[in-house]
A and B are shown apart, each in its own frame.
Chain A
Amino acid sequence: MKRLLILGAGTAGTMAANKLRPQLPRDEWNVTIVDQSDTHYYQPGYLFIPFGIYRPDEVTKPTKRFIPSGVDLVKAEIDKVVPDENKVLLTDGKELPYDYLIIATGTTPRPDETPGMADDLGGSVHEFYTYNGATALAEKLRTWEGGKLVVHVTEMPIKCPVAPLEFTFLADAFFTEQGIRDKVDITYVTPLEGAFTKPVASKYLGDMLDTRNVHLEPDFMIESIDAEGKKLVSFDEREIPYDLLVTIPLNMGADYIARSDLGDDLNYVPVDQFTLLSKKYDNIFAVGDASDIPASKAGSVAHFAMDLFPANFMNHIQGLKMTEPFDGHANCFIETGHGKGLLIDFNYETEPLPGKYPLPGVGPFSLLKETEINHWGKVMFRWMYWNILLPGKELPLPALMSMAGKDTGDL
């Protein structure tokens, strides 16, 4: 029997299990998936928890419900991969041998990587990129009476790169609806040169912070957080005071990747950006956020890549050429508050452009434009995630980005 081992039962790993199991003959292949948690988290929902739009229990379901029959689900922590011996060591001392390995252990926020960031976490410093963080922030916002709110991005790349902006828009709407917007001073702090950095998106959306009365602090390379003095300090000695800091800590891949010598400086696995095959090992792939492909770390990227991946994987294990190159396609709803949203659609080569999606001229979704329909798309997406995407069913959307429906006049 041959063994396919999948590390991580998040979005990409679960989809890999659901899509590959039916294609691999059961009398020839064992498929095993390892995860340290019993719970599958709908991570796009974290954004809504702080504002009480989702309850925490609305973003979780048991992992095992999404693992198909014929796939062994192992609950364990990974110690390391030993690629030269084709095996994975678990922290409980067990070993899992493999013929092919798919790494899908994602990325996590690391407040410890910035001096001072972890000192007051849960007090005046919060984050919403984890279930616990989002829940704690909901508790904080429920009784917060206002002051200086600073939304801060530590360094790129981060998971769901638009989420900090969405958080900012939703915060503006939330405090307005609470009747305390005049008591809240919002500042958006980014290491990039602006909140918007792509020329066409900047042209259409560039005033979104101004119109919401949000201050922008660009080019801010954080050196440390002074938790006692409640301020951010940058390498060029700027200081930003806060009463409530909502930060997006440095994001990194899992630590076992570093212990296995499989990752780059942020523990992402270097892979070919078209096939997701490891640059170092011919029987290791990295999918979803765990890889170093120069695409957004987003569920939609995992999803579109996973539409193409099974055909490539099946070819590769038969010694054939992988013929379905991935283009880095991403498609993200951006909540803008008050029941509206934006949609962006882009890939490695093409920046977000205005137009309609998925049907040219029809939509129903509008690209780079605030509409109520876009908001409902985001709301509906949670149902699609649980019922269509995770089980590996086909969504009637092309995996590769299409220029049809896009307005190229601004290029």
Chain B
Amino acid sequence: MPTATIAGHEVQINDEGFLTEYDEWSEDIATELAGNIGVEMTPRHWEVIKWLREDYKEKGETATTRRVQTVGGFPTKEQFQLFPKKPAKKMAYIAGVPKPHGCV
């Protein structure tokens, strides 16, 4: 796995730039990752990102857009406003968890 220096931290990333180690994440890294994809973090963004990380810790899998709505309480429409076009992938990228995937 390649490494990168993000917000002054050396972290492991995959080919798409996603963090691969859950514990290497930090808020300043998230802020920089968000900036990379044109997202400016507001308190509401942080709520979603922190919920996603907690949920990943419990489930071992990144929450789907539906689960972010039904369990996290962030309506799908709002997810699209906060993380335009591709909320599932963008949320995962900023939260340092794997992007949603199928089995192939």
Residues of chain A at the chain B interface (Cβ within 8 Å): 155-156, 161-162, 165, 190-193, 196-199, 201-202, 205, 219, 221, 223, 235-236, 250, 264-266, 270, 273, 292, 294, 296, 330, 332, 334, 344, 346, 352
Instruction: Assess whether A265 is in contact with B104, with CB atoms less than 8 Å apart.
Output: no
Q: Which residues of B contact A192 (CB under 8 A)?
A: 100-102
7 A-B pairs with C-beta separation under 8 A? A161-B104, A162-B102, A235-B76, A235-B80, A265-B70, A292-B59, A294-B60
In the complex, B67 has a CB within 8 A of chain A: yes
In the complex, B23 has a CB within 8 A of chain A: no
Question: Which chain B residues numbered 10 to 34 have a C-beta less than 8 Å away from chain A?
Answer: 14-15
What is the CA–CA distance of A95 and B63 in the complex, to the nearest angstrom? 36
Which of A198, A250, A332, A352 is in CB contact (< 8 Å) with B66? A250
Residues of chain B at the chain A interface (Cβ within 8 Å): 14-15, 59-61, 64-67, 70-71, 76-77, 80, 85-89, 99-104
Instruction: Assess whether B86 is in contact with A197, with CB atoms less than 8 Å apart.
Output: no
Known: A155-B64, A196-B102, A294-B60. 14 other contacts (CB 8 A): A156-B100, A161-B102, A162-B103, A190-B102, A193-B86, A196-B104, A205-B104, A219-B88, A235-B80, A265-B67, A265-B70, A294-B61, A330-B103, A332-B103
Instruction: Assess whether A201 is in contact with B104, with CB atoms less than 8 Å apart.
Output: yes
Knowing A161-B102, A193-B89 are in contact, say whether A265-B71 is a contact too (CB < 8 A): yes
Instruction: Assess whether A221 is in contact with B102, with CB atoms less than 8 Å apart.
Output: no
What is the CA–CA distance of A292 and B58 in the complex, to the nearest angstrom? 11
Q: Which residues of A contact B65 (CB under 8 A)?
A: 155, 191, 221
Knowing A221-B65, A235-B76 are in contact, say whether A191-B88 is a contact too (CB < 8 A): yes
Q: Which residues of A contact B99 (CB under 8 A)?
A: 193, 197
What is the CA–CA distance of A346 and B80 in the complex, to the nearest angstrom? 32
CB B27 to nearest CB in A, in angstroms, measures: 26
Q: Which residues of A contact B66 (CB under 8 A)?
A: 155, 250, 265
Instruction: Assess whether B64 is in contact with A197, with CB atoms less than 8 Å apart.
Output: no
Q: Which residues of A contact B67 (CB under 8 A)?
A: 265-266
Q: Which residues of B contact A165 (CB under 8 A)?
A: 104
